[in-house]
Amino acid sequence: MTTSGITRRTAVTAALLGAVTARAQGATERTIRMGHPVNADHPISLGTRKFAEIVAARSGGKLKVREFPALALGNEMQQLSSLVGGVQEMFAPGTAPLAGIVKEFGLLDLPFLVNTPAQADALLDGPFGQALMARLPEKGLVGLAFWENGFRHVSNSKRPVQRLEDLEGLKIRVQQNPVFIDTFKALRTNPVPMSFAELYGALESKALDAQENPYLITRTAKLYEAQKYLSATGHAYGVIAVLVSKKFWDRLSVEEQKLLQAAALEARGHEREASRQQARKAVEELKAAGMQFNEVSAAERERMRQATRPVVERVLQTYDPALVRLLRSELERVHNLQ
């Protein structure tokens, strides 16, 4: 997205916040518990704190957002269930577990959907992202914004991944997700679905050769201690959904709802920028820790994308055709962005 586009969007969001501030300062005093899956130094946590700051300021301190990082309120499915039941107010999970409740969010797991952050922003903030959010209320959830977990990249202990052929035969840990398993089979690896908690030990013992995660996770989990090669495959883009319990949402005034919505959108820009800055910093830190880093050329990423295309087409056949048509048209639109 261009600088002028970001400026216009920020101005619109600020105007919306300003319009509801005075009325929202008459809000009922409420404490909003907001959980998320990562540690307190992660961009998602920084976004949560920015969101809390905006909400407190704009409500005159009446609405207080209390952060619960690192799955302190339960695992992803437990917290999603708590939102649906109205026991917990907010949660910001990745979209993979959310797909267990709203199937359509599984479309975001497809490989090589977008190539750049600008393309990701345009896809998620546009009609396709809005269509996904529209599927949430009937399941007891309300979506306020899409934040970022970042592009995922392959690391391994064998060799640099510069070409499709370099992936062949690598025993790689993947998320316990059928799309990721099929994607890495198509990329000629030997995928092993495994919980994240088991990953470090499996790499250290050489039971596995490789893993795939955003740069920041590779650094914070110290996976560089068992991995030498880090390759910028960018094969998937991790999305965070900022969610509210619909039962809680329905108890809020219109002004309170508008305030939370606008605050989540304003915090979105801060979270995404923090994510991208920390990703760049993480690469430098991983190189300093001894990892050998390489970019993957656009031509080779296209070869990888073509290798996974049968997986994508097969998965798309299991979704609402109208939504798939919208996704295809939106991808054509955003792929012109750098």
Task: Note the pLDDT of residue 3.
Answer: 45
Higher pLDDT, 268 or 21: 268
Measured CA to CA in angstroms, residue 124 lies from 103, 163, 338 at distances of 16, 29, 15
CATH number of 153-236+281-328: 3.40.190.170
Rounded CA separation 164/161 (Å): 7
SS3 helix, strand, coil % of the chain, rounded to 5? Answer: 55, 20, 30
Task: Note the pLDDT of residue 28.
Answer: 87
Task: Note the pLDDT of residue 331.
Answer: 97
Q: Do domains 3-93+116-148+240-269 and 153-236+281-328 have the same CATH topology?
A: yes
- Mean pLDDT for 201-212 is 98
Percent of the chain at pLDDT above 70?
Answer: 92
Give pTM, 2 decimals: 0.90
- Mean pLDDT for 168-197 is 95
pLDDT in tens, 23-56: 556 678 999 999 999 999 999 999 999 999 999 9
Task: Note the pLDDT of residue 325.
Answer: 98
Residue 179's nearest CA partner among 303, 92, 77, 96 is: 96
Task: Note the pLDDT of residue 231.
Answer: 98
Measured CA to CA in angstroms, residue 208 lies from 193, 196, 214, 256, 318 at distances of 11, 13, 18, 49, 32
Task: Note the pLDDT of residue 16.
Answer: 54
Rounded CA separation 60/7 (Å): 26
Rounded CA separation 141/14 (Å): 25
pLDDT in tens, 316-333: 999 999 999 999 999 999
Task: Note the pLDDT of residue 22.
Answer: 43
- Mean pLDDT for 284-307 is 98
Please give the full DSSP string across 53-82, using - where no structure is assigned.
HHHHHHTTTSEEEEEE-TTTT--HHHHHHH
Mean pLDDT of the chain: 93
Domain boundaries, the chain: 3-93+116-148+240-269, 153-236+281-328
Quick one: pLDDT band at residue 197, thresholds 50, 70, 90? confident
Rounded CA separation 77/91 (Å): 11
Quick one: pLDDT band at residue 13, thresholds 50, 70, 90? low
**The pLDDT of residue 215 is above 70:** yes
- CATH homologous superfamily, domain 3-93+116-148+240-269: Bacterial extracellular solute-binding protein, family 7 (3.40.190.170)
Rounded CA separation 72/74 (Å): 6
Residues 330 and 107 sit within 8 Å (Cβ to Cβ): no
Please give the full DSSP string across 224-257, using - where no structure is assigned.
GGS--EEEEEEEEEEEEEEEEEHHHHTTS-HHHH
The token duo for 265 is 């959108």
Rounded CA separation 148/296 (Å): 22
Residue 10's nearest CA partner among 265, 287, 292 is: 265
Task: Note the pLDDT of residue 4.
Answer: 47
Task: Note the pLDDT of residue 338.
Answer: 75
- Mean pLDDT for 270-275 is 98
